[in-house]
Amino acid sequence: MSQPAATPTGPAGTVTVRVPAKVNVQLSVGPLRPDGFHDLANVFLAVGLYDSVSATRAEAPLLTVSGPDAAQVPQDRTNLAARAAELLARRNGLAPDVHLHIAKDIPVAGGMAGGSADAAGALLACDRLWGLHTPREELLALCAELGSDVPFSLAGGAALGEGRGEVLTPLEVGGDFHWVFAVAEGGLSTPDVYRECDRLREAAEGGVPEPVAHEPLLAALRAGDTQALAPTLRNDLQPAALSLRPALAETLDTGLAAGALAALVSGSGPTCAFLAADADSAIRVAHALTASGTCRAARATSGPAPGATVV
């Protein structure tokens, strides 16, 4: 039997994994279920904003975080990356004695699945550090135990997430799409945004339809056609995010006025996502957003990006 390929380890046997943020190009939210969750039709696209998670053998569990938003990230066992390491260790009868370091570049509580990215990164880094080489399907199942968005962070590319978002079907994407992300001052809590969504729907007339993937959107992704994708973008959580953070409307308008083809709140927000015609247009939109003062920072990038990758 052939041996699994050795994973390159850095100084002191460190394994580093780079893991992307995501934007939901479609986020359709079904009615509130009795268990408190919602069924989703969630089209994820991984984009080129990354966290890096490094795992190094240690005497006891330790977690550190660097980056401008490090102070907003829990540096104890509640961190999703630490929980990922504990889960993998427990399943394999190991002690979770590892130093995890997160170099954080994904906005915190920004609707871009930063915590999920770190969980997927930690799982892969520890798997390689401990020489486990867990089969991909098992890693994806562990990711789903950690959170609805974690399997996609491992997988990357583009995928349809159903159920709570964790039942993934990879999607074909025919080209790169250019995006700008306007990062807001302060985050929004995902559970708060879902609660506000339910509250707004209770107040409105009519039932909530079962969520389904929007075929014209999938066709535009397959074709790599930005102009066709723009009018299909849709986020059912946007009214709730705008209700909790009305100033986001101005951010969305600013990006559109600067030439973005479409604008939407990313996931539960408050990060706003703008689809641009090409890389130059994305840079112009990012400059206009930064100059407007309607966001803390604006970043131009593209997607699809690869999933969690050992570097």
What's the rounded Cα separation, in Å, for the pair 16 and 310? 6
Cβ-count burial of 32 within 10 angstroms (0-12 exposed, 13-18 middle, 19+ buried)? middle
Stretch that binds ligand ATP, among 6-14, 76-84, 155-163, 240-248 (CB under 6 A): 76-84
Whichever of 114 and 157 has its CB closer to ligand ATP, that residue is: 114
* Site residue total, ligand ATP (CB under 6 A): 21
The active-site residue out of 118, 149, 192, 198 is 149
Whichever of 73 and 159 has its CB closer to ligand ATP, that residue is: 73
Beta bridge partners of 303: 177
Long-range pairs, 225-229, Cβ under 8 A, ≥24 = 225/174, 225/175, 226/177, 226/178, 226/261, 226/275, 226/276, 226/277, 226/278, 227/261, 227/277, 229/25, 229/177, 229/262, 229/275
Q: Answer yes or no whether residue 74 interacts with ligand ATP by CB under 6 A.
A: yes
Stretch that binds ligand ATP, among 73-81, 154-162, 200-208, 287-295 (CB under 6 A): 73-81
Tokens of 26: 């479609």
Interface with ligand ATP (CB under 6 A), residue from 15, 27, 73, 242: 73
The active-site residue out of 22, 51, 69, 105 is 22
CA angle 158, 273, 235 (to 5 degrees): 70
What's the rounded Cα separation, in Å, for the pair 69 and 60? 25
Smallest gap from Cβ 193 to ligand ATP, in A, equals 8
Q: Answer yes or no whether residue 113 interacts with ligand ATP by CB under 6 A.
A: yes
Mark 118-157 with x for binding to ligand ATP (rule: CB under 6 A) and - for no binding.
x------------------------------x--------
For residue 162, report the phi and psi dihedrals to the nearest 5 degrees: -120, -175
Whichever of 226 and 268 has its CB closer to ligand ATP, that residue is: 268
Interface with ligand ATP (CB under 6 A), residue from 52, 56, 190, 226: 190
Q: Answer yes or no whether residue 26 interacts with ligand ATP by CB under 6 A.
A: no
Q: Answer yes or no whether residue 54 interacts with ligand ATP by CB under 6 A.
A: no
Residue 280 a catalytic site member: no
Reference 163, options 148, 180, 176, 153; nearest CA is: 148
Reference 278, options 182, 176, 174; nearest CA is: 176
DSSP label at residue 6 = P
Secondary structure (3-state) at 254: helix
Interface with ligand ATP (CB under 6 A), residue from 79, 226, 232, 281: 79
What's the rounded Cα separation, in Å, for the pair 268 and 110? 7
107 is in an annotated binding site: yes
Q: Answer yes or no whether residue 115 interacts with ligand ATP by CB under 6 A.
A: yes
Residue 104 a catalytic site member: no
174 is in an annotated binding site: no
Q: Answer yes or no whether residue 183 interacts with ligand ATP by CB under 6 A.
A: no
111 is in an annotated binding site: yes
Fill in the amino acid letter for 27: L
What's the rounded Cα separation, in Å, for the pair 80 and 29? 24
Q: Which residues are annotated as a binding site for ATP?
A: 107-117
Q: Which residues are annotated as a binding site?
A: 107-117
State the catalytic residues: 22, 149
* Site residues for ligand ATP per CB under 6 A: 73-74, 79-81, 102, 108-116, 118, 149, 187, 190, 267-268
